[in-house]
Amino acid sequence: DAGVIQSPRHEVTEMGQEVTLRCKPISGHDYLFWYRQTMMRGLELLIYFNNNVPIDDSGMPEDRFSAKMPNASFSTLKIQPSEPRDSAVYFCASGGQGSYEQYFGPGTRLTVT
Partner 1 sequence: GEDVEQSLFLSVREGDSSVINCTYTDSSSTYLYWYKQEPGAGLQLLTYIFSNMDMKQDQRLTVLLNKKDKHLSLRIADTQTGDSAIYFCAESPGYGGSQGNLIFGKGTKLSVKP
Window of 19-27, 67-75, 78-86, 89-97 that interacts with partner 1 by CB under 8 A: 89-97
Does residue 91 touch partner 1 according to CB under 8 A?
yes
Q: Rounded to whole angstroms, how far apart are CA atoms 60 and 100?
A: 24
The CA-CA-CA angle for residues 49, 103, 50, to 5°, reads: 15
CB 10, min distance to partner 1, A: 10
Nearer to partner 1, 58 or 71 (CB): 58
Among 48, 65, 69, 75, binds partner 1 (CB under 8 A): 48
Tell me which residues in 58-87 interact with partner 1 (CB under 8 A): none
Distance, in Å, from the CA atom of 65 to the CA atom of 103, rounded to the nearest integer, reads: 23
**Which C-beta is closer to partner 1: that of 27 or that of 80?**
27
* CA–CA distance, 5 with 41 (Å, rounded to integer): 24
Residues that bind partner 1 (CB under 8 A): 4, 30-31, 42-43, 45, 48, 50, 55-56, 91, 93, 95, 97-107
